Structure 1
Amino acid sequence: MRDVKFSLNASTLFPFDLNVIDQIKVAAHAGFDGIELWVKDIQEYLEKEGSIKELINCIEASGIDVVNAITFFKWSDTDEGTRQQGLKEAEREMTLVKEIGCKAVAAPPSGDMAALPLQKIAEHFSELTELANRIGIDVYLEFWGKAPKLSTLSEAMIIALESGLPDVKLLVDPFHMYTGGSHFSGLAYLKSEHIGIFHVNDYPSHPTRKSITDKDRVFPGDGIAPTAEVANYLEKINYNGYLSLELFIENYHNQSALEVARYGLEKMKQTYLR
């Protein structure tokens, strides 16, 4: 995977309480090619500190791309009123991130989907995608391992197939594959163009799969994830998109944000480049 690119999900830097400008600067100085920003951080910066123009100037000066935005609008929900409100929120937030040059937005199962059949969720995703297309931004279908519905790679693939869309892109994450019980061999069924972005992380043997939470994620290579197997699957499909480090570690002790980012990039290259 020599042509793969590296991104930093801003969640990795959350313990340092940086504003979005400093998140971008850290990612750039550490040597990343891109960054995933959280919409809440963008909104907070604009409300309290700066302007869209200042943010755009910072991104352009950094030389890195904003490859995805993380947010939680309820694009699918058993309550139609809630879903319609979610779509309005999606339109506002996708318009915002498009303005700063962001390429895509994640669409996780953040609504109440438990009672919905996959076909209905697929219809909802198709509607969200149509909205994103009008705005001019990609949307990545994301599954969460502990979600009541849309918790596995196979469910995400069914939704993609049933959506009627020709080019659905998935957001794939080893932690969510593990917690949801997805088979890593399922990656062999994907083509490179089916992956919008691939999150990178690892997980320990304890806590157990049943009780593990996001904060228990560890750097790639430091846990029990079959990282070599995952890297092999990605290499076989000639994946050349972004690998993005997404951790939720709560305390890095005496390390600085830049040190953490540089270490994370080093671990990514050690474990995924072959």
Structure 2
Amino acid sequence: MAHLSQNRRQALQTLGLGASAALLNTTASGMSVSKKSNPAFKYSLNMSTIRGQKLGFIKEIQTAAAAGFTSVEIWLDTFQVFLQNAGSTNEARRIIAGLGVTVENAIGFAPWIVDDEQTRKEALLQLERQMNLLAEMGCHRIAAPPAGATGLPTISLDKITERYRAVLEIGKRTGVKPILEMWGGSHNLKKISDVLYVAAASEHKDASILLDSFHIYKGGSSLNSLPLVGKNAIEVFHINDYPAGIAPEKISEPDRVYPGDGVAPLKQILQIIKNPERPTVLSLEVFNESYYKQDALQVAKMGLAKMKAITQGI
């Protein structure tokens, strides 16, 4: 435990905040952050939330650790820049472990779903390379969104199922599970019913679904569909909120706000996805331009406090 505390202090010093270690227990607004996490949930920071500060891969992880997160979701492009600048998967694994952080998932955009056969083949090769790197680094999940196929025409769910099954087989070989991600702004995998069908029809033991409170609203899914997914199919859930008065067809990614600062039915969602058998990873994913203008550590700390507040009593 002393070793872990030392690494967190070192993270603060690297960020130029060594003298402010006491901030780990308070948010920028004075909101208290409990050291005890709700056992039903693991709190994770998706690096989208501090992406605009352009900290770089290692500093992003250090910031999450300094804020009190023990789980993160990384973005593959930032990780690739780290590797291109003489970093290694072993170095990343060592630093991450030293900070007491687990990389729960990786965000990437390989177009595995598209109709173009050559593009799809290249995407599968890309995914296999990425999955091997992630396995070496210690991350065992990767998002599989409908990247490259967000517009018309729609692709039949049976074709998507075949393509997702191929990605699942790569995951089986590499030890990195691809999570089928729903995008409410897409014409493909737009609704809970879409990803539910594909995951079930794949008939694969590793099939799982990545949902998001923003995308549930954006895509027009009813919460009545959510219990049908099944708790074991949701290992990671992207949590965020959105303001009142913006129609689903008008709302966009930068409109996302901290959990509890909007009108999303988060309490109801969390009650549904709560799994008594294992903690669900709640990952804070926002793209708010106003947050990007703030200190990254304070944004991460505020996000964690808001997540703990919204899960209180669930």
> Which category describes the TM-score, using the shorter chain as reference length?
over 0.9
CA contact (8 A) 2:89 2:133 kept: no
- Provide the residue aligned with 1:74 in structure 2: 111
Count of residue correspondences: 274
> In the alignment, residue 133 of structure 1 is paired with which amino acid?
K
Give how far 1:267 is off: 0.3
Match of 1:95 in 2: 132
Contact 1:190 1:237 in 2 (8 A): no
- CA offsets 1:233-261 (integer angstroms, 9 cap, x no match): 12376662210000101123774211111
**For residues 256 and 163 of structure 2, what CA distance do their matches in structure 1 show?**
31
Given candidates 19, 31, 35, the residue that maps to 2:56 is: 19
2 CA distance for matches of 1:162 and 1:231? 26
Amino acid at match of 1:111: G
What's the C-alpha RMSD, in Å, of the aligned pairs?
1.7
Report how far residue 78 of structure 1 moved. 1.0
- Unpaired runs of at least 5, structure 2: 1-37
Q: Supply the AA of the counterpart residue of 1:182.
A: S
Q: Deviations over 1:182-201 (max 9, x none)?
A: 11222212322111201110
Match of 1:193 in 2: 232
Secondary structure of 2:51 counterpart? helix
Identity score, percent: 38
The aligned amino acid for 1:185 is N
CA deviations over 1:139-164 (Å, ceiling 9, x no partner): 10001001111101110001112112
Q: Mapping of 1:247-266 within 5 angstroms? A: 247-252=286-291, 255-266=294-305
In the alignment, which of 107, 110, 116 is matched to residue 155 of structure 2? 116
Counterpart position of 1:47: 84
Larger CA deviation: 162-171 vs 28-37 = 162-171
CA displacement 1:90-149 (0-9 Å, x = unmatched): 111111111100120000001337342101100110011001110111110001001111
> Any runs of at least 4 consecutive aligned residues in structure 1 with deviations exceeding 3 A, and if so which?
235-239
Label 1:103 to 1:268 Cα distance change in 2 as closer, same or farther (>3 A): same
Query: Is the CA contact (8 Å cut-off) linking 1:199 and 1:246 kept in structure 2?
Result: yes
The structural deviation recorded for 1:265 is 0.4
Amino acid at match of 1:178: Y
Whether 1:28 and 2:70 are equivalent positions in the alignment is no
Question: What TM-score, normalized by structure 1, do the two folds share?
Answer: 0.95
Please name the residue that 2:273 is paired with. 234
Aligned to 2:204: 165
- Worse-superposed segment, 85-94 or 203-212: 203-212
1:174 lines up with 2:179 in the alignment: no
Q: Which of 163, 175, 181 is the matching residue for 1:142?
A: 181
1:53, distance to aligned residue in structure 2 (A)? 2.9
| Matched position secondary structure for 2:291 | coil
Whole-angstrom distance in 1 between the partners of 2:277 and 2:249: 33
1:202 and 2:241 correspond: yes
Q: Is this contact kept in 2: 1:76–1:109, CA < 8 A?
A: yes
